[in-house]
Homo-oligomer: A and B are copies of this chain.
């Protein structure tokens, strides 16, 4: 941590800073420049925020600059190899093969899930997504089928060899969802629901952690750190667009986050172009771009009849759209040294 003093800070002010450092049993280096004096602090403990708070308000201090990153366990420095998250059905995030999760926004009926599962596995997906518990902006909107939806997902996945990824919204539902799902999804709105992060981490299942709607990459990695510290080390990060000012798209898909994350963490990174744009016609080009940028996989909304979807119809691909997407994705994956998933294996 570096403490930058104001121009003309007095000797007393500088001494107050070094005295506080000493009182915390830390070491300091004082460096007097022509304009400003700078105090380096060595041996800073974990709880950076608190330390920053204490120094920033001393007289004569202009700013406090953190040097160490706040996340430790998920940082690239913490692990020499990239994490590969492998599921029982052979799906892998972070390997040469891409992971492709496809399915509807909401589980609506057994027929809908079955039809989707059969079609997406045929097109080359290896995970089935679908929400049984739905976070909806309006209390009057469809909130999901709950456990019934989880059963439909499990059954469809077992028949097709797909793995199930589905969202959990409430700490009280973690055990229930974990009974049915292969991978627990934490949605954008819950990225800083810290109790949920801990509970999901403690379930020791693979986790799909979506980026919060206006989360910085550092905050996102801190959320991953919560899950990791709580026990689950199989965490996949999912970029799904952030809030911006242009109403042309639902969110602003931040594809540069993919290579940024690959440089900061050992965890795999996938992209959700459906929520990331909110517009069906943009899902295909953004899927191509995501894979070209280095993503380890995709999460795509697919629905047998988007016009009748209970939620997110306008951004859902039809089964045919998805099949086309996968066909056209193959040469792009190949061009960047990746491949589409190997066929999923039915149980």
Q: Which residues of A contact B (CB under 8 A)?
A: 2, 4, 7-8, 20, 29, 31, 33-36, 38, 40, 42-43, 46-50, 52-54, 56-58, 65, 67-68, 70, 77, 135-143, 169-172, 189-190, 192-195, 198, 212-214, 216-219, 222, 225-226, 229-230, 242-249, 252-260, 263, 276-277, 279-282, 285-286, 288-294, 306-314, 331-332, 334-336
Contacts and interface: CB of A to CB of B under 8 A. Distances in A.
A38 B36 contact: no
A233 to B, nearest CB: 14
A158 B31 CA distance: 51
Contacts of A213: 212-214
Contacts of A307: 20, 54, 57-58
A43 B33 contact: yes
Contacts of A282: 256, 259-260
A4 B47 contact: no
Contact of A277 (B20, B52, B256): B256
B216 A195 contact: no
A192 B135 contact: yes
A205 to B, nearest CB: 19
Q: Can you tell how many copies of this chain the complex includes?
A: 4
A272 to B, nearest CB: 13
Nearest to A189: B192
Contact of A247 (B35, B226, B247, B277): B247
A56 B314 CA distance: 6
A248 B244 CA distance: 14
A308 B253 CA distance: 34
A336 B287 CA distance: 12
A283 to B, nearest CB: 10
Contacts of A58: 307
A248 B217 contact: yes
Given A43-B34, A288-B293, A311-B49, A137 B4 contact: no
Contacts of A42: 31, 33-34
Nearest to A250: B256
A247 B218 CA distance: 10
A232 to B, nearest CB: 13
A221 B282 CA distance: 19
A288 to B, nearest CB: 4
A147 B288 CA distance: 42
